[in-house]
Amino acid sequence: KDRFGNQSQHVEAFDEELTWECFLCACCALGPEFVDFSRLSVTGFSMGAQAVWAIASLKGSLLAAAAPMAGRARWDADVMREPEGEQRVAAQLGELPIRSYHIGTDDTTWRWTDLYWLAQVRGFPLEPAVSVVE
């Protein structure tokens, strides 16, 4: 039940393929007059940020950028255990501009290990550049 006492089904995760297809259908319906298909980007907050990471890991080569906010990468353990799974994800995220936003006191929406893995895939140093906004 939700906070109002209504019976509701809890959603564990987005269906990334279905979300992507819905996104593309909406873009196609709008047409090239309103959509620049070379600049498609995804962003989301919290659970939507998990979807951003998941969509980027599947379709990153088709995106111009990804900006997850307050949501960690929920790397699909099954995909990462497949023989070439990690390489497929790395290929999708390798060149994709990603701007991940989190608050420093929130220790549940991001993990350094995810960012270290991505830095390693891209050949970056493991110590991240941190910007402090006051």
Q: What is the pLDDT of residue 114?
A: 74
Provide the 3-class DSSP secondary structure of residue 75: coil
User: Of all residues in the chain, what percent carry a pLDDT higher than 90?
Assistant: 42
Pairing status of strand 41-45 against strand 65-69:
parallel
Quickly count: other Cβ atoms within 10 Å of residue 90's Cβ: 17
| Phi-psi map region of 126: left, alpha, beta (phi>0 left; psi -120 to 50 alpha) | alpha
Does residue 99 carry a pLDDT above 70? yes
Residue 45 lies in a domain: yes
What does the pLDDT look like over 69-82, one tens digit per residue?
Answer: 988 887 666 667 77
Averaged pLDDT score across all residues of the chain: 85
Contact indicator for 19, 43 with CB cutoff of 8 Å: no
pLDDT in tens, 81-92: 777 888 899 999
Domain count, the chain: 1
For residues 125 and 119, give the distance between their C-alpha atoms in angstroms, rounded to a whole number.
7
Q: What is the pLDDT of residues 31-51, one digit of tens each?
A: 999 999 999 999 999 889 989
Domain membership of residue 78 (yes or no) is yes
Q: Which domain holds residue 105?
A: 16-122
> Quick check: is 2 in a domain?
no
State how far the Cα of 92 lies from the Cα of 85, in Å rounded to an integer.
11
In a 3-state reduction of DSSP, which class is residue 125? coil
Residue 10 lies in a domain: no
Pick the more confident residue, 108 or 77. 108
Within a domain: residue 4?
no
Decide if 130 is inside a domain. Answer: no
**Per the structure block, which two tokens stand in for 39?**
């600049």
How much is the average pLDDT of 106-124? 78
**Considering the domain boundaries, does residue 75 fall inside one?**
yes
Q: Which two tokens stand for residue 96?
A: 């994709």
